[in-house]
Amino acid sequence: MTPTHTPPLPVTGRCHCGAVQLRALVDASRVFVCHCTDCQVLTGSAYRVVVPAVAGSCEVTGPVSRYARRADSGAVRYQVFCPTCGTPLMATGADAQGLATLRVGVLDQRAALAPVAQLWQRSALPWVQDLRDVPGCAQQELLQAR
């Protein structure tokens, strides 16, 4: 696909416990949902939402842990997460200064980062596109009703 060019967007983010903070420039025209099974397991959820940081723009403050994942292609990607709370922060190549793919959920600007494409739909969970029809509530009132 040919993304429309948009100027890099400054973003800030933090892990759940606050020990790790990050800032970066991202390409907001390249926000992707990934339905691959790695993303399902590594997020503990149905899918992951990611955005690439502009190369070299990502600054991380605080201690992080890395988990090396070898893709089917043979390439190694490092899953970077907070060692205290486990929040997934980004994936990088072997070179930490290279391409970083940020996890949109940790970014303060996440509401503005709407996906432009869904990857790996062949492993998407069968119910994931139908959430609009599932009863909802503003907070968790429906839990009491059940």
Does 36 contact Zn ion by CB under 5 A? Answer: yes
d(C-alpha 29, C-alpha 52), whole Å: 10
Is 19 one of the binding residues for Zn ion (CB under 5 A)? yes
Among 26, 82, 100, 104, binds Zn ion (CB under 5 A): 82
Given the complex with Zn ion, which of 57 and 65 has the nearer CB atom? 65
Q: Is the dihedral of CA 15, 17, 20, 24 positive or negative?
A: positive
Sheet holding 65-70, edge to edge: 65-70, 76-81, 88-92, 100-103, 48-52, 32-34, 117-119
Candidates 8-16, 51-59, 98-106, 136-144 — which segment interacts with Zn ion by CB under 5 A? 8-16
The nearest distance, CB 142 to Zn ion, in angstroms, is 29
Which range touches Zn ion (CB under 5 A), out of 3-11, 17-25, 101-109, 121-129?
17-25
